[in-house]
Structure formats: structure tokens, C-alpha cells
A and B are shown apart, each in its own frame.
Chain A
Amino acid sequence: DAKTTQPPSMDCAEGRAANLPCNHSTISGNEYVYWYRQIHSQGPQYIIHGLKNNETNEMASLIITEDRKSSTLILPHATLRDTAVYYCIVRPDYSGTYKYIFGTGTRLKVLA
């Protein structure tokens, strides 16, 4: 499985966009990029995922570079409730794969 690298922590002002980077330089062509977040001591919450194209849903946008070696999760208008640890995961798309491997993530703190 490809490994990911994320900054350990980031701050963002409330109401501003939060841009969380992830490096996955060894990603393979069939590996998806997933983002989850974990608010203190709760179960991880699914945010978004993508393969090649940029994706957007009600929670966030995912921007994947053309070479797919990095991506950015964008929370367009961060609120205090978005304070959490954000995990970037890559996951292969072939039969028999069921694993989600979490790294250390980025601790995002949204400041009032």
C-alpha cells in the first residue's frame, strides 16, 4: 500500500478555508485517496474520496494533482466543530482488498 505524509498540525481561522495537504508520491494508478477525520475520542468520520478527478460533496472538496502524487482537502468555511485529526489514506482498487490503514494525520485546530 502507498504511504502518505501529512503535516502533524495546522491552525485555521474560523470562517476561512482550511487546506489540508497530503503527499502520496508512491501512489499506484489503481489506488484511491480517502479522507477521514476523527473528533476527540470518537470514531473516524468519512469525508470524501477520489481516484483522479477532483471531487466535491457537502462537507469538503478534494483536489488531486495531475500526477496524483499529492492531494489537498479543502474545508471551504471552517467552523470550530471542524477541529479534529484529519487522515489521508490511499487504498488499492483490486479484488480482495479490505484494509484501511491510518497514519498519524493532521491535527487541525480552528481558531475563533
Chain B
Amino acid sequence: ETGVTQTPRHLVMGMTNKKSLKCEQHLGHNAMYWYKQSAKKPLELMFVYNFKEQTENNSVPSRFSPECPNSSHLFLHLHTLQPEDSALYLCASSQGQGGDTEAFFGQGTRLTVV
């Protein structure tokens, strides 16, 4: 248990559906992240938020829409996804601005787009 909780753990959705992934941390951290991990590929950074403000968008398609209502919660809204978007989506959080701050990851949401 890392203190970062992701729901749901598994999700199957059609290409015309709209769904949301949720991430919650109770560590008092101010930065939160979304990563995507496709099969047999490295983790890809998608978005970074710091104190609810987006500080990084790594050229992510607009069919992925993040939302950070407060420092403890992060959402990833999904709509009109493609089968190649099937992947493990990971949320992480960290405290502080410097390099001497480790990030903690949730267990991920396994997304399958059919």
C-alpha cells in the first residue's frame, strides 16, 4: 500500500463510450501525475499537476482530458478512445519541488478499448 489509490482497477470500454479514471492520495503531496504503459513499453508521462495547476502535457491527444479539483484527487476523463489506447494507466504523487522527493505510484487501471 503506497497511499495512492486508483479506481477502477480494470475497465473495458467501447470506442464510443465516455469513462473516467480516478486517483486519490492521502499523503499530503502537492504534485500528481498520469502515466501510460502500453504492453512491453516504458512508462510514458502524460500529465503533471502541481497544486492543482497543470504543469506538463506531453502532447497527449485531446480524447484524454485530465482534471485536478484539489491536490488529493486526479481524474482522467476518456472519450472516443481507440483500441491502441488500451494500456495500464498509472497515477503517482510526490511532495516538494526539488529532485530529493520520491514519487509514489498507485496500482494502476488496466484499460481495454474494444
**Residues of A at under 8 Å CB distance from B?**
30-32, 34, 41-46, 49, 51, 91-105
**Smallest beta-carbon distance B30→chain A, Å:** 9
With beta carbons under 8 angstroms apart, the residue of B35, B43, B98, B110 that contacts A41 is B110
Contact A44 B99 (CB under 8 A): no
Contact A41 B31 (CB under 8 A): no
Contact A98 B55 (CB under 8 A): yes
- Chain B: CB-nearest residue to A44: B105
Inside 8 A of B98's CB, which chain A residues have their CB?
93-95, 97
User: In the complex, A102 Cα to B44 Cα: how many Å?
Assistant: 7
8 A-B residue pairs with Cβ-Cβ distance under 8 Å, sorted by A, are: A32-B99, A43-B2, A43-B4, A43-B90, A92-B99, A94-B99, A100-B94, A100-B103
User: In the complex, A99 Cα to B104 Cα: how many Å?
Assistant: 13
Main secondary structure of the interface of B (DSSP, over half): strand
Chain B 1-43 near chain A by CB (<8 Å), digits 1 or 0: 0101010000000000000000000000001010100000011
Name the residue among B6, B97, B103, B108 with the largest chain A CB count within 10 angstroms.
B103
Inside 8 A of B2's CB, which chain A residues have their CB?
43, 45
User: In the complex, A46 Cα to B94 Cα: how many Å?
Assistant: 11
Contact A93 B99 (CB under 8 A): yes
B50 at the binding interface (Cβ < 8 Å):
yes
B76 at the binding interface (Cβ < 8 Å):
no
**Smallest beta-carbon distance B111→chain A, Å:** 12
Give me the 9 closest cross-chain CB pairs, A-B, nearest first: A93-B99, A43-B105, A102-B43, A32-B99, A46-B102, A91-B99, A93-B98, A44-B105, A98-B48
Contact B97 A102 (CB under 8 A): no
User: In the complex, A34 Cα to B102 Cα: how many Å?
Assistant: 8
Contact B42 A102 (CB under 8 A): yes
